[in-house]
Amino acid sequence: MSAGNAPSVLELPVTAASAVAAVSAWAAARLALQRDLTLAFRKPAQLLQPLAFFALVTMLFPLAISPELSQLRLVAPGAIWAAALLASLLALEFLFRDDAQDGTLEQYVLSGQSLTALLFAKTIAHWLLTGLPLACMAPIAALSLGAPVGSLGAIMVAVVLGSVTLSLVGSIGAGLTLNIKRSSALLSLLTLPLSLPVLIFGARATQVAIAGGPVLAPLELLAALAVLGVTLAPLAAAAAVRISLE
Amino acid sequence: MSTASLEVENLHLWRGERHVLRGVGFALAGGQCLKVTGVNGAGKTSLLRTLAGLMYPEEGQVRWCGTDVRRDLRGFQGALAYLGHEPPLKADLTARENLHYWIRNRRRVSAALLAQALLRVGAEPFADRLVRTLSAGQRRRVALAGLTLCIVPLWLLDEPATNLDAEGQRLIGSLIAEQLARGGLAVAAVHHELPVALGAVRQLELAA
């Protein structure tokens, strides 16, 4: 019942399967990234949730504290980073959950590809869809909290670097809580302590940028955390997913 | 290349206080199929998941082509296709897109080959519809197209005929027969008769 008369690879002996070109880990990871982006843009409402949360929280500060820019400027670093951290947590729950429920993660494990590479690709997709938009919105939020225009570039870079680490650290927590119903609270408990260095150095970088000081040192620390996250978090996330799938 | 073979020896699996698999063992060679039967909760799904390396047994060994699968688990997993209760499909992608992302993760598959597999399982008419609009039986057919496209020696099938009509069940039978004729192996957990009229089918009954 083949479509054509020519012999198809589907009719080859299975031991000749090696004749069919295998896919490199890089190509498989790129495909996983592409798939997640395609799926995300078909459900845009889910994409907007963390962004709307971040905008709402940072916009509430002027209402709750004072419209005085000098006062807002003092709380801006804390407000921006606490909001970014919580918005990032909000999105983490979706990182692996759908894939675990519909069996996609199992197929990733059984694909013969590196699970670490595939989950890293998923985490990059997650960052592109949540962390990067947050970083783009951070200068607007900072401006509304009285940050000078000259500091906005550094604030954006800080949020870019910090959000990378938040996504990576979050991937470990998301992997560990895959099989737990209503896992948001546990996910926060697991992830928040590991995210504290990002909060501290991120807020410091923002504070220094607003004050017009040398911002390079805290940015370098944020970059170092991101590099550490890229190196270790995908391995830990893969191990966590394997344990959760058992 | 050597003939594929699967040997399972004295598998014991515990889930909490429950002793799910109690010394399960069998051997299969290329061209053979094992039908795993048993009442609900007897451990059929656990056995398949253990064979696939998704669950870790407390005792026992699974050997693929004579080598313990734990020595190269990723290599072994690349040589098997596992179809669980739920087809691994994304509701917001079309059937064709699902296969594209699922199978191209493993190997390069041309659009023509993908279309051929969809045609083979009778899924071509609804290949470009979102999976969320398909019936359970249609989803199962799409998953079967994915199974054939994996082109691997070992199939692990958990209730493969679920939600399929009589023609779909015959299709399962012919797909398994083709897999065996190509020198492959299949382990299928089933409640009902496996629709494969072959002498190569053996049976393993799991006690509750």
Would you give per-residue pLDDT tens digits along chain A (246 residues)?
444 444 555 666 665 554 556 788 899 999 999 999 999 999 888 888 899 999 999 988 888 888 888 889 999 999 999 999 999 998 888 899 999 999 999 999 999 899 999 999 999 999 999 999 999 999 999 999 999 999 999 999 999 999 999 999 999 999 999 888 888 889 999 999 999 999 999 999 999 999 999 999 999 999 999 999 999 999 999 999 999 988
pLDDT at A15: 59
Give the DSSP H/E element, type plus range, for residue B185: strand B185-189
Is the model's pLDDT at B80 over the cut of 50?
yes
For the entire predicted model, the pTM comes to 0.90
CB contact under 8 A, A106 and B3: no
| Distance between A109 CA and the closest CA of chain B, angstroms | 8
pLDDT at A20: 59
Give the DSSP H/E element, type plus range, for residue B175: helix B166-181
Q: Which of B78, B91, B108 sits opposite A111 (nearest CB)?
A: B78
The rounded distance, in Å, linking the Cα atoms of A30 and A114 is 12
Token duo for residue A43: 């459900």
- Supply the ipTM of this predicted assembly: 0.91
Complete domains list, chain B, with CATH: 1-79+153-208 (3.40.50.300), 89-151 (no CATH)
Cβ-Cβ contacts under 8 Å, A47 against chain B: none
Interface of B with A in 143-162 (CB under 8 A): 148-149, 151-153
Q: Which of A219, A246, A13, A236 is nearest to A115 (CA)?
A: A236
Domain boundaries, chain A: 41-245
CB contact under 8 A, A39 and B80: no
Mean pLDDT, rounded, of chain B? 90
The mean pLDDT of B60-88, rounded to a whole number, is 93
pLDDT, tens digit (0-9, with 9 covering 90-100), for A163-189: 999 999 999 999 999 888 888 889 999
Q: Which of A11, A17, A246 sits opposite B56 (nearest CB)?
A: A246
Cβ-Cβ contacts under 8 Å, A18 against chain B: 1
| Distance between B182 CA and the closest CA of chain A, angstroms | 4
Cβ-Cβ contacts under 8 Å, A112 against chain B: 74-75, 77-79, 106
Q: Which of B87, B88, B107 sits opposite A20 (nearest CB)?
A: B107
Q: How many CB pairs under 8 A join A and B?
A: 135
DSSP codes of every residue in A100-160: HHTTHHHHHHTTSS-HHHHHHHHHHHHIIIIIHHHHHHHHHHHHHTT--GGGHHHHHHHHH
